[in-house]
Copies of this chain bind each other. A is one copy, B any other.
Amino acid sequence: MSFFEKHEEVLERAIQANLERTYYAQYPEHPKAYGEDAPVNGEKAYANALGKDFKELLQTGTEGWGGEENSPYTREDLGIRYPLFTPNVLVEKAMKAKKAWAKLGPEERAGILVEALDRIKNRFFEIAHATMHTTGQSFIMSFQASGPHAADRALEAIAMAYEEQARFPEEVQWVKPMGKFDITLTKEYKTIPKGVALVIGCSTFPTWNTVPGLFASLATGNPTIVKPHPKSVLPIAIVVAEIQKVLAETGLDPHICQLGADVSTNLITKSLAEHPDVAIIDYTGGSAFGNYLESLHGKTVFTEKAGVNSCILDSVADLPAVLQNIAFSVSLYSGQMCTAPQNFFIPETGIATANGTVSFEDLVAQFKTAIEGIAKHPKMGVGVLGAIQNDTTLHRLDSIRDLAVEVGLESQPVDSPEYPSIRAASPSVLVADAHNEALYELEMFGPIIFIVKTKDTNDSVARAKNLARRHGAITCLAYTTNPLVKEYIKEEMEEVFVPVTFNLTGGIFVNQHSAFSDFHVTGGNASGNASFTNPDFVNRRFVWIGYREG
């Protein structure tokens, strides 16, 4: 039985889920679902990897070894070294592997890739520890984001790629009636992969943000090189290793999927991106480098860059439930999520609630209390905030002390009994007047939020829209009990291609984008030109060719 036959049903269900967008999760997000021994074994495997060379890859042509990961929890180096390759070696190996992978066809490729996901599933716990100690995410978030949620996003991309490549028939008889006779041609349609693909990872979500592009490029027949962030390699190295093993088992060249790790002193991203044989680039990271990649001529580039996300508060039914929800959104992984809200637009006259109007000042005070409640909660605190991935983000908290702005809530170091050396900090809340746009208009990555005092909701919407137009936005959260205001917010924000989430309370947060249902990034504003996973995300990776014969 081929891997396609083995996984055909999963693929069919995933295609259906992509279309229906109601709910589908192939990989359970509860650690318990993975068996009793899985947690212990995963932790052991992670511990066992520390301080050693990562030798699971089946790649050849190594030029040396290097690694510089450092745990935001222990502040100790992981001590893992990865094989290093020159950009030319990586691309040459990819070019050599290209033809066989293209020839295999969409079905067999999809089967192999779903099989790889199933193998990766057996390493979710190990990947979780690796994610925790490279990104600073809490353990449970590391498990979910890098494990099941990432695998579901990968499957979503495989399913979309498979569906699109099967869209047109392989062969048809084209018969054109000409009156006295017919003209007949045999026509064939075929998808041709564009070429070598490159996926550039980020330090905070090393698998979740990398696997959609990786699996989309592979599923559409392109040999793919993953260039992880040097500070966050292990989670995706395990993913690549498992893909390579399935490839080798199938008798295919493991160089169809390569890890192209590098070190800060010798970054290879630009050389790879500019290599003439690299045709496709996926990127998550800062806007400056993303804009440079988008400007490269003749490349197909998919980006997720920085954005400034807004929350518009107009009116609410249940204020405590709202505050709990937004305080959690702000705290989750210390705001180190591209989907986290940064600017909270609140009218100076306050907002209407079920119990009458709450003044601006009262609202700020209650919001602060809700945030403090999470940060100082002995059980939740560090479990929600996680750790700060790097010193730059931590130093940003210092730099804002010089801003001429009212400090609503000062960031505090956060202690962890388990990890005394943890790099962690509670959120900083700044209160700004709306016209001081320079303060809050740019992304302040990390645990920094602005409460922006506006004239009224129209002013809030106009400012949120304007920021999204100029700097991009990935999410927008809005609270209103007024259907007209709701319509107005939708109409305004859709002009800048920002999806709006309304009136969230309870256990779901604006930060979360669900596979098989939520498009992650719209691709319509400066926060990125691509979307997980709309049809473009796969279609732009291959070319339709038609053959004709007389």
Q: Are B534 and A499 in contact (CB under 8 A)?
A: no
Q: Are B502 and A549 in contact (CB under 8 A)?
A: yes
Q: Are A167 and B535 in contact (CB under 8 A)?
A: yes
A548 touches B (CB below 8 Å): yes
Contacts of A544 in B (CB 8 A): 519, 522, 531, 534
Which chain A residues numbered 480 to 534 have a C-beta less than 8 Å away from chain B?
A: 490, 494-495, 497-508, 514, 517-519, 522-524, 531, 534
A189 touches B (CB below 8 Å): yes
A546 touches B (CB below 8 Å): yes
> Of the 9-residue stretches A49-57, A175-183, A424-432, which lies at the interface with chain B?
A175-183
Contacts of A107 in B (CB 8 A): none
Q: Are A183 and B507 in contact (CB under 8 A)?
A: yes
A544 to B549 CA separation, bound complex (whole angstroms): 38
A164 to B536 CA separation, bound complex (whole angstroms): 11
Encode A163-196 as 1/0 by CB contact (under 8 A) with B.
0100111001111111100010101011010100
Given A192-B497, A502-B550, A508-B550, A168:B531 Cβ within 8 A: no
Contacts of A548 in B (CB 8 A): 499-502, 504, 518
A19 touches B (CB below 8 Å): yes
Given A23-B175, A178-B507, A534-B544, A192:B494 Cβ within 8 A: yes
A519 to B490 CA separation, bound complex (whole angstroms): 37
A175 to B508 CA separation, bound complex (whole angstroms): 12
Given A194-B524, A524-B192, A550:B505 Cβ within 8 A: yes
A539 touches B (CB below 8 Å): yes
Of chain B, the residue at the smallest CB distance from A490 is B547
Q: Are B23 and A174 in contact (CB under 8 A)?
A: yes
Tell me the number of copies of this protein: 2
- Closest CB-CB distance, A123 to chain B, in whole Å? 25
Which chain A residues numbered 15 to 51 have a C-beta less than 8 Å away from chain B?
A: 19-23, 30
Q: Are A546 and B499 in contact (CB under 8 A)?
A: yes
- Closest CB-CB distance, A503 to chain B, in whole Å? 5
Q: Are B22 and A508 in contact (CB under 8 A)?
A: no
A540 touches B (CB below 8 Å): yes
**Pick from B20, B21, B187, B503: contact of A550, CB under 8 Å:** B503
Q: Are A19 and B506 in contact (CB under 8 A)?
A: no
A294 to B294 CA separation, bound complex (whole angstroms): 12
Contacts of A164 in B (CB 8 A): 535
A1 touches B (CB below 8 Å): no
A297 touches B (CB below 8 Å): yes
Contacts of A172 in B (CB 8 A): 20-22, 517
Q: Are A549 and B22 in contact (CB under 8 A)?
A: no
Q: Are A522 and B543 in contact (CB under 8 A)?
A: yes
A501 to B519 CA separation, bound complex (whole angstroms): 39
Q: Are B547 and A501 in contact (CB under 8 A)?
A: yes
Contacts of A523 in B (CB 8 A): 543
Q: Are A185 and B531 in contact (CB under 8 A)?
A: no
Given A502-B550, A539-B536, A174:B531 Cβ within 8 A: no
A295 touches B (CB below 8 Å): yes
Which chain A residues numbered 327 to 384 have a C-beta less than 8 Å away from chain B?
A: none
Which chain A residues numbered 382 to 434 have a C-beta less than 8 Å away from chain B?
A: none
A545 touches B (CB below 8 Å): yes
Contacts of A295 in B (CB 8 A): 295, 297
Contacts of A174 in B (CB 8 A): 21-23, 514, 517
| 19 A-B pairs in the complex with CB atoms less than 8 angstroms apart | A19-B168, A20-B172, A23-B175, A30-B179, A178-B507, A183-B506, A192-B497, A291-B297, A499-B545, A499-B546, A500-B547, A502-B549, A503-B549, A504-B548, A504-B550, A517-B546, A519-B545, A531-B543, A536-B539
If A22-B175, A295-B295, A522-B543 are given as contacts, then 4 extra A-B residue pairs at C-beta distance below 8 Å, sorted by A number, are A172-B517, A178-B507, A494-B545, A504-B550
Residues of A at under 8 Å CB distance from B?
A: 19-23, 30, 164, 167-169, 172-179, 183, 185, 187, 189-190, 192, 194, 291, 294-295, 297, 490, 494-495, 497-508, 514, 517-519, 522-524, 531, 534-536, 539-540, 543-550
